[in-house]
A and B are shown apart, each in its own frame.
Chain A
Amino acid sequence: MSADPVAATVAPEDVIRLPQSVVYRVFAAETVVLNLETGRYHGLNPTGGRMLAELESCGQVRATAERLARDYGRPVDEMLAELCSFCASLEDRGLIEVQRGA
């Protein structure tokens, strides 16, 4: 079985931070993430926006997943898998930095 190449790049113990060159603002419809170096805008739906805000607040992927799982009433493992995949996607776009194996 081949692993998802994107989801495999971020692990539960990894720690996330936003680079200084990335800012985001929460709108009612979506969250807009802006890379100030490239001038590129990215839209996140409200769930993605919440994930990003919690990641910025918590740092560690697992701790963030546990908090989100509690708030959304979902299994931690399920949330963790989604969050790892989400982080990989953000990292791929240069919107977060990942400190691996922290």
Chain B
Amino acid sequence: MRLASRDAVNAAWAAAAAPQRSHQLVHPDGDVLLTIDHDEREGFLVETPFHGRFHVDALGGQVRCAPLAEAGTSWHGLLIGQVLPLAATLRGYEIFHAGAVVAPGGRAGLFCAGSGVGKSTLMARLVGHGAGFLADDAVAVELTGGLPLAHPGPALVHLYERDVPLLGDDTPLRRIEGFRSMKAALAPAAVADPTPIGGLHLLERGEEGGPVRFERIDAVEPFALLSAIFTRSVKTPERLRRHLDVCAAIAERVPVFRVVVPAGTGREAMAEAVWEHLCRP
């Protein structure tokens, strides 16, 4: 991965023989927020009007970043949230929209949640409890001998400013200064190695009152897994088959839990309940 001029990215993409629009995000007022174009030989071009242009080659081995000068560091979010997951998918990984930590038993716990449930805060707090950090928002999974492994992602957690002081002074997460974004950037010490996945947790908000509940799902809904991925732009038969295989392996080999967090549950209470669950043998 390297920084490149816009001209260099344009020159590389100019060789694209038959680029096609693979994905587009449009604001309700009609403004295009994000485009992803695909060319079979030249790979992918990711662009936003706020961050710049990013070229990922066809094998995912090279990423050229041409951020806009006015983007400051905000383009890192696009890099982590779109460009790198795309490159990793091209390199044979499946990227799940989830956070992940390593539990005391040495297995990875994955956490999927809709926005606002508090996934990132949970990852940060679990690290505070002693969990190893794997990923905040995008977890790369591969099958090794049929076993799903979670790979460490960027050592970065994004939190709203208001949530940072609540981690406490003794949090092991280090604040990254100068990171211009809507959220504060914190750096945990990340686990170095791929880790077998020991549990998949689907977080959801429940009715007010009562403790956090952990319900084992014996027959996980396959499309809940299939839809939990980041990158939909890579549609080769090999990738589609791999995506299905990874989801089938998770469904077969990984315990899946619905974690119901009652409305009004504090972030620390939620983290304590999850930590206690992760610590069970």
Q: Which residues of A contact B248 (CB under 8 A)?
A: 25-27, 32
Query: Are the C-beta atoms of A29 and B220 separated by less than 8 Å?
Result: yes
Query: Are the C-beta atoms of B219 and A43 separated by less than 8 Å?
Result: no
Q: Give the size category of B's interface with A.
A: 10 to 19
* Complex alpha-carbon distance, A43 and B221, angstroms: 10
Residues of A33-64 at the interface with B, using a CB-CB cut-off of 8 Å, are: 34, 36-37, 39, 41, 43
Query: Are the C-beta atoms of A29 and B222 separated by less than 8 Å?
Result: yes
B2 at the interface (CB under 8 A from A): no
Interface string of B191-234 (1 = CB under 8 A from A): 00000000000000000000000000011111100100000000
Query: Are the C-beta atoms of B219 and A34 separated by less than 8 Å?
Result: no
Question: B223: shortest Cβ distance to chain A, in Å?
Answer: 7
Question: A68: shortest Cβ distance to chain B, in Å?
Answer: 22
Query: Are the C-beta atoms of A25 and B240 separated by less than 8 Å?
Result: no
For residue B237, which residue of chain A has the nearest CB? Answer: A36
Question: B232: shortest Cβ distance to chain A, in Å?
Answer: 9
Q: Which residues of B contact A34 (CB under 8 A)?
A: 240-241, 244
Query: Are the C-beta atoms of B222 and A36 separated by less than 8 Å?
Result: no
B residues adjacent to A (C-beta < 8 A): 218-223, 226, 235, 237, 240-241, 244-245, 247-248, 251-252
Question: A42: shortest Cβ distance to chain B, in Å?
Answer: 11
Question: A95: shortest Cβ distance to chain B, in Å?
Answer: 14
Query: Are the C-beta atoms of B222 and A39 separated by less than 8 Å?
Result: no
A32 and B237 in contact (CB under 8 A), knowing A23-B244, A25-B248? no
